[in-house]
Amino acid sequence: MPLTYRTDMAPLVPIHQNLAVAVGAAKDHARALLERFEREGDARTGRSSAVYLALVVMHERLLRADPPPVAHFIPDLQQLSRSCSTKLASVRPLIEAALAVARSPSDPT
């Protein structure tokens, strides 16, 4: 599997790359839901905004030159999964997929 390079040219370890992809997918889906809720004037905008922002921060941390070990993200992913209510339920499988990546034993750190 080829390494992905960021602007600082530091290579991403494959497990971080996989987790960044999984978190990025959840983030993009959460953003789409948030935009839909905002257009519809849905009262769940606040909760979806919180989930989206948490995923944005997590994604940015994964893409840093020195990201923490992926195990560091497990508690946050678990909390986000629990916080996905009925209207946010479609984000949960994506967060669960990211959680499975974070729990995989291939983290070298």
**61-108 tens-digit pLDDT:** 999 988 999 999 999 999 999 988 788 899 999 999 999 999 987 645
**In this predicted model, what pLDDT tens digit does every residue of 49-63 receive, in sequence order?**
999 999 999 999 999
Distances (CA, A) of 89 to 1, 38, 51, 55, 80: 32, 17, 12, 15, 11
Looking at the structure of the chain, the number of domains it has is 1
Structural domain boundaries enclosing 27: 14-103
Interaxial angle between packed helices 92-103 and 74-83, expressed in degrees from 0 to 180 and rounded to the nearest 10: 160
Classify residue 97: in a domain, yes or no.
Answer: yes
Residue 5, domain member (yes or no): no
The whole-model pTM stands at 0.83
Stated as kind and residue range, the H or E segment containing 78 is: helix 74-83
- Relative orientation angle of helices 14-40 and 45-62, to the nearest 10 degrees: 160
Residue 57 located in a structural domain: yes
